[in-house]
Amino acid sequence: MAQSQDHLLVAAIDFGTTYSGYAFSMKDTFKTDPLKIYTNQAWNAGGKQLLSLKTPTCILLDSNKQFDSFGYDAENRYADLVMDDDHEDYFYFHRFKMSLHNNKVNI
């Protein structure tokens, strides 16, 4: 017999070529207000006070090819590394979505 699962929320991820974002709705909130959808409004564009619902689809990996940062954080961190001439051991990717269908990615 199949067990029913009690889900607490529904989430959507918009993984775009240029920008990415997400939204979610909580089960309890949906019952009383189905149009109440939460989004991230805390991304600061370019390190400034410009708030954005989306962040650039870019990722920064460290010298061990491990995750360092994503989105505006990755852009800002990599720019700082370049300015300090410390970027050679890092891997910065942007607008990479269309390459994800390949079987192998060389980094």
**Residue 57 burial (CB count, 10 A):** 21
Are residues 86 and 92 in contact, defined by beta-carbon separation less than 8 angstroms?
A: no
pLDDT of residue 15: 87
pLDDT of residue 58: 94
> Is pLDDT of 104 > 70?
no
pLDDT of residue 96: 80
Mean pLDDT of the chain: 86
Extents of the domains making up the chain: 9-99
What angle (nearest 5°) sits at the alpha carbon of residue 80, between those of residues 61 and 39? 65
Give the pair of three-digit tokens for residue 6: 């009690």
- Which of 77 and 6 is assigned the larger pLDDT? 77
**Residue 12 burial (CB count, 10 A):** 11
- pLDDT tens-digit series, residues 39-90: 887 777 666 667 778 899 999 999 999 999 999 999 999 999 999 999 999 9
